[in-house]
Structure 1
Amino acid sequence: MKGVVATREIDPSYRLPVRGLFPLPPITASVFGQELLPAMVIPNIGGWVGGLLTRTEVEGAFSWYERLKKPSWRPPNWAFGPVWTTLYCGMGAASWMVWRQGGGLNGVAKVPLLLYGSSLALNWAWSPVFFKLHQTGWGLGIISALWLNVAACIGAFYPINKVASYLMVPYLAWLSLATALNFCIWRDNPKADKM
């Protein structure tokens, strides 16, 4: 019949076929909504809160951050939001893969997930310390510890789920850039906490 559209019910137990070198946990509609999506949103919540808390220190021609001496190679301010959102989603997906395949906190994933949790805590602590408190030296210490933590996290994720460890590599690369930027700001602005 003309004008009639056939519809098909979506089976909530349908599992996406996954083949190849890197097996992933099966994803159903309920697993996506109840596990994967929250795992991707949780890291972003800390980023959003940190952004709201430190916005006045970053935005505007006379803000604290704009008055600092910064290297010419620093990324533009507008790039940080999209990059961090993408990284947080990848981190969350990686943690979910390890959670599912490693038995959660009661399985082999316990130490990798604790490392991941501590990386979130360090990540979320950095913005207020650096931007709100203007403590570039303490910020450098936190971000250096975070870099080591994420490197360990990648190594701990690898035996459980290789894709999860690969998803953390862009995060480590961005942290390398951010650590170098923090170092330059600390070195070139010895009185940043007084500004």
Structure 2
Amino acid sequence: MYKIDSTMPSWAPAVGLTLLPHVGGILGGLITRREVKTWYTTLVKPSWRPPNWAFAPVWTTLYTSMGYGSYLIYKELGGFTEDAVVPLGLYAGQLALNWAWTPIFFGAHKLGWGMIDLALLTGTTVLATVSWYPISKTAAYLMIPYIAWLSLASSLNYVIWRDNKDKSE
């Protein structure tokens, strides 16, 4: 297992782990930007859907919060140690599911599969948060807005799927 390296600058893990979630967000944004102007405009969407401009600042905030939370767990557990396998493994799993949603929903136009991904993502995120709580309450609390947003996203994905079954490839 990898423990904190004393030769590494103390700020490097904080910056790296805080920025890590943004990697998938930026790559997903490339897909979203293209599809939101074309395919997404053809979908029936609920009136309560947040405006398109709101998604970038919300996701930037959520990615930063979850990334910093992962750093707090990493720091508390002394790096990628045996004790970190479950809490950081669950975090990595939810991050992979998070990054997968955009190519599934926007890239492949698979609305139903997007719902399945979101259900797995939300469940994994809740498990990660619960596993973080005894290690760092602050880290766990940083995940609460993300869980709330995933609830909204799940509801939105469901309604879009329900109302556009004919447009889901």
Show the counterpart of 2:142. Answer: 167
Query: In structure 2, which of residues 88, 100, 105 is the aligned counterpart of residue 130 of structure 1?
Result: 105
Q: Which of 52, 57, 74 lines up with 2:35 in the alignment?
A: 57
Is 1:141 equivalent to 2:137 in the alignment? no
Alpha-carbon RMSD: 1.0
| Structure 2 residue 94 is matched with structure 1 residue 116 | no
Seq. identity, %: 50
- Counting only pairs closer than 5 Å after superposition, residues 5-24 of structure 1 correspond to structure 2 as none
Name the structure where helix makes up a greater proportion of residues: 2
Q: Residue in 1 aligned with 2:25?
A: 47
- Residue 19 of structure 1 corresponds to none
Instruction: Supply the AA of the counterpart residue of 2:33.
Output: R
Cα separation, 2, equivalents of 1:39 and 1:149: 19
Q: Distance in 1 between matches of 2:85 and 2:104?
A: 29
The secondary structure found in structure 2 opposite 1:159 is coil
Letter in 1 for 2:167: A
Structure 2 residue 80 is matched with structure 1 residue 101:
no
What are the ranges of 5 or more consecutive residues in structure 2 without an aligned counterpart? 1-8
Matching residue of 1:188: 163
**What's the CA shift string for 1:107-163, capped at 9, x where partnerless?**
422201000001110000000100011000000000111000111111000010000
- Could you tell me the TM-score, scaled by structure 2's length? 0.92
Distance in 2 separating the partners of 1:166 and 1:85:
17
The answer for the alignment partner of 2:10 in structure 1 is: 31
C-alpha deviation, 1:105, in angstroms:
2.7
Separation (CA, whole Å) in 2 of partners of 1:53 and 1:89 = 21
Query: 1:75: how far off?
Result: 0.3
Tell me the equivalent position of 1:152: 127
The runs of 5 or more residues in structure 1 that have no matched partner are: 1-29
Query: Which portions of structure 1, spanning 4 or more consecutive aligned residues, are displaced by more than 2 angstroms?
Result: none
* DSSP 3-state at the match of 1:144: helix
Q: Based on CA coordinates, which of the two structures has the bigger radius of gyration?
A: 1
Q: What is the aligned length?
A: 161
Partner secondary structure for residue 83 of structure 2? coil
Greater RCO (Cα-Cα under 8 Å, separation 6 or more): 2
Write out per-residue CA displacement over residues 61-113 of structure 1, whole angstroms, 9 at most, x where no aligned residue: xx111111111000000000010011000011000000110233324222010
Equivalent-residue separation in structure 2 for 1:151 and 1:104 (angstroms): 22
The CA distance in 2 between the partners of 1:116 and 1:192, in whole Å, is 33
Question: Which whole-Å CA distance do the structure 2 matches of 1:107 and 1:193 have between them?
Answer: 43
The aligned counterpart of 2:5 is none
Normalised by the length of structure 1, the TM-score is 0.80
Is 1:135–1:192's contact at 8 Å kept on the other side of the alignment? no
Whether 1:90 aligns to 2:69 is no
